[in-house]
């Protein structure tokens, strides 16, 4: 395929050279003539492992050249790959100046059948709401009909970007239409890793999720290192044990949006660790804000439930997680306490919770937090459903899911993502807490 790559920085230069090495005819486009001259002379404008040899090879073979002529590059190619920067503005917002400029340049030379692929990092909605209108206005053509648009985020780390290109962790293609998606997927044919064909906004968001989590992991590891050092421990020994757990720690466990966490361990142990760090005079702003973040998520659920202005609330689930009657620090108990405190008419059903069976610290906890639990605890799903104007789904027990099918026009606030949540999304009588 004949490809034009806009922007010859780290992402653009690596993408251009690697695609050329795979047999594509590539022309790089940049406003900086010095970069253009370097590429045409077989030299790289960036310092990166293996890139020097790769650029020299593909330039000599005639598979890669560079130009400052954007119009000519678009006219001579079938697909344009946009790799320009999106730096932060002074207020932290995303600067789309370069993206807008390139979209207009491409649009002026766009012909039917051309495919425009954005690799630049941009927030969800940027492509559809900003860049596509610029392309359509400057070209007089329609996206998804006359030309294709895709978002194809890169997952290249500086220092190993060539290796990462040829061995990606995944390939994500946000497509305007299936034909365009097929064209973009063809660019990476033969490379390892899963390929995800998704809506454009999902592809835009994917890169932010990845980078935010990477930053979170680094911050977490560094704060743990500071605590360990203050306590006289070697943090690397501690983290070796942590990393060995591939079931709960380095895995997909817990990485699903849902309701707030609770129970007898997580809140207590976080408080204990934060206290130990404070006592050792160690600043850990990240860990110190985990519990406040959890509290904010619980408040988010309360706001969703109370927003419609209905007074009769039915809550399904009370224990801190399915399959147990443990109510200690359950976020659902906290939620029930807030609703009752604000005067809402609440009924609760949890198949695992019976007031007569609660014993020990579990009974003591609920006696302190919800002393009138017996007055609001329903005997059946149907009893709570009949009472409710708003159904709060805090568990996914089969009888509860069956009852929701008979909820009629009652508002459903889903805290667990019921199995058919995707079917309900967008309906006025359904709200998911994070989807």
135 is in an annotated binding site: no
CA distance 310 to 186: 53
428 is in an annotated binding site: no
321 is in an annotated binding site: yes
257 is in an annotated binding site: yes
30 is in an annotated binding site: yes
110 is in an annotated binding site: no
300 is in an annotated binding site: no
Q: Which residues 6+ apart lie within 8 Å of 366 measured at CB?
A: 327, 333, 358, 373
Residue numbers annotated as active site: 265
Q: Under a CB-based contact definition with an 8 Å cutoff, are residues 331 and 263 in contact? A: no
Percent helix / strand / coil, the chain, rounded to 5: 45, 15, 40
409 is in an annotated binding site: no
255 is in an annotated binding site: yes
170 is in an annotated binding site: no
Q: 99 is written with which tokens?
A: 């993206």
CA distance 431 to 403: 17
CA distance 275 to 51: 49
Q: Which residues 6+ apart lie within 8 Å of 124 measured at CB?
A: 201, 202, 204, 205
DSSP SS3 for 237:
helix
425 is in an annotated binding site: no
Cross-strand pairs, 67: 29
* Rounded (10°) angle between helices 360-369 and 331-341: 30
DSSP SS3 for 306:
helix
Cross-strand pairs, 326: none
Question: How many other CB atoms sit within 10 Å of the CB of residue 196?
Answer: 13
156 is in an annotated binding site: yes
207 is in an annotated binding site: yes
Q: Which residues 6+ apart lie within 8 Å of 244 measured at CB?
A: none
86 is in an annotated binding site: yes
217 is in an annotated binding site: no
DSSP SS3 for 317:
coil
- The phi and psi torsions of 177 (rounded to 5 degrees) equal -160, 160
328 is in an annotated binding site: yes
CA distance 184 to 411: 41
- The phi and psi torsions of 197 (rounded to 5 degrees) equal -100, 110
247 is in an annotated binding site: no
430 is in an annotated binding site: no
| Bind-site residues for NAD(+) | 30, 35, 86, 121, 158, 268, 328
Residue stretches of the annotated binding site for substrate: 155-158, 207, 254-258, 262, 321
Annotated binding site: 30, 35, 86, 121, 155-158, 207, 254-258, 262, 268, 321, 328
């Amino acid at each position: 395929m004949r490809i034009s790559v806009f922007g010859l920085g780290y992402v653009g230069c690596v993408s251009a050279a690697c695609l050329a090495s795979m047999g594509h005819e590539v022309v790089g486009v940049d406003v900086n003539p010095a970069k253009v001259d370097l590429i045409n002379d077989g030299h790289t404008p960036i310092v990166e492992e293996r890139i020097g040899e790769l650029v020299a090879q593909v330039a000599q073979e005639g598979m890669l050249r560079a130009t400052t002529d954007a119009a000519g590059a678009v006219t001579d190619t079938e697909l344009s790959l946009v790799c320009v920067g999106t730096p932060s503005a002074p207020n932290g917002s995303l600067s789309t100046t370069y993206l807008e400029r390139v979209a207009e340049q491409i649009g002026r030379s766009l012909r039917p059948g051309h495919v425009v692929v954005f690799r630049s990092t941009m927030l969800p909605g940027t492509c559809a709401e900003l860049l596509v209108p610029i392309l359509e206005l400057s070209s007089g053509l329609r996206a998804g009909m006359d030309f294709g648009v895709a978002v194809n985020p890169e997952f290249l780390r500086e220092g190993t970007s060539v290796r990462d290109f040829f061995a990606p962790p995944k390939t994500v293609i946000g497509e305007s239409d299936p034909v365009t998606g097929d064209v973009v997927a063809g660019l990476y044919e033969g490379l390892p890793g899963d390929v995800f064909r998704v809506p454009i906004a999902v592809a835009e968001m994917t890169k932010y999720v990845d980078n935010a989590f990477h930053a979170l992991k680094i911050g977490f590891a560094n704060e743990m290192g500071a605590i360990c050092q203050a306590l006289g421990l070697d943090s690397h020994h501690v983290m070796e044990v942590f990393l060995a757990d591939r079931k709960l720690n380095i895995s997909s466990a817990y990485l699903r949006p849902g309701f707030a966490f609770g129970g007898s361990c997580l809140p207590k142990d976080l408080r204990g660790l934060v206290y130990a760090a404070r006592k050792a005079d160690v600043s850990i702003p990240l860990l110190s804000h985990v519990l406040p973040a959890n509290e904010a998520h619980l408040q988010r659920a309360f706001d969703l439930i109370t927003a419609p202005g209905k007074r009769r609330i039915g809550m399904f689930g009370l224990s801190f997680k399915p399959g147990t009657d443990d109510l200690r620090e359950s976020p659902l108990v906290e939620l029930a306490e807030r609703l009752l405190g604000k005067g809402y008419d609440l009924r609760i059903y949890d198949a695992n919770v019976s007031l007569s069976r609660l014993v020990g610290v579990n009974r003591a906890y609920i006696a302190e937090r919800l002393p009138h639990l017996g007055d609001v605890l329903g005997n059946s799903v149907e009893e709570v459903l009949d009472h409710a104007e708003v159904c709060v789904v805090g568990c996914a027990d089969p009888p509860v899911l069956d009852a929701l099918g008979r909820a009629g026009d009652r508002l459903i606030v889903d805290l667990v993502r019921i199995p058919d949540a995707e079917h309900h999304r967008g309906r006025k009588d359904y709200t998911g807490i994070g989807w």
